[in-house]
Chains A and B, each alone.
Chain A
Amino acid sequence: GENVEQHPSTLSVQEGDSAVIKCTYSDSASNYFPWYKQELGKGPQLIIDIRSNVGEKKDQRIAVTLNKTAKHFSLHITETQPEDSAVYFCAASILGYSTLTFGKGTMLLVSP
């Protein structure tokens, strides 16, 4: 089955800096890669996703890049703000076929 590795486990940045979280996956058949944000005491919420036919996707201050050859994908947050502080999870699946396999999560702390 799919295995998703996520790094780093914790990340501390100053407000205004950029943050990058990286994930690798094992199953070359995986073609869907979402990112979730989990705020304290809440369930994870989808923030951005990318499919394997696209190399990069942006939504305001967040972007995701995908390297299919190397089987890794990354989340980039620019101009970080304190409200970006949360746990972020990457995941992978085969669209419409397999369930999502999640990474272990990254706790992002943005200091004012």
Chain B
Amino acid sequence: NAGVTQTPKFQVLKTGQSMTLQCAQDMNHNSMYWYRQDPGMGLRLIYYSASEGTTDKGEVPNGYNVSRLNKREFSLRLESAAPSQTSVYFCASSTLPGQGANGYTFGSGTRLTVV
């Protein structure tokens, strides 16, 4: 049972380049989330998908787009990367929007550097 799988683990982009971060969960969870983690800022919600077919903005959505491809997969796209998007990105999933039976399950993260 893999839980939440994120790819890639590391990525370096040049300013203006685009990329998609992939996330997949195998726990049959309904809700999925993308967070970014920056020093001293904690975990900030970028976008979430409460259920398949729906997506909503979080606290810091600017510069990002998401796609809930199916119940398992939720991708995050940077159309034109900026140095301010240098961060560690975490995908998470849960049974319900607020909390599942065991809370949120997080992936191991993608460390993105934009130069």
How many A residues touch B, CB cutoff 8 Å? 26
Interface residues on B, range: 20 to 34
Residues of B within 8 A of A96 (CB): 96-99
Contact assessment for B98 and A89 in the assembled complex, using a CB-CB cutoff below 8 Å: no
Q: With A44-B90, A104-B40 in contact, do A34 and B107 touch (Cβ < 8 Å)? A: no
| Chain B 50-68 per-residue mask, 1 if CB under 8 angstroms from chain A, else 0 | 0000000010000000000
CA of A36 to CA of B105, assembled, Å: 10
CA of A36 to CA of B99, assembled, Å: 13
Q: State whether the Cβ of A45 lies closer than 8 Å to any Cβ in chain B.
A: yes
Residues of B within 8 A of A45 (CB): 106
Which residues of A are at the interface with B, using a C-beta cutoff of 8 A? 6, 9, 32, 34, 36, 41-46, 49, 89, 93-105
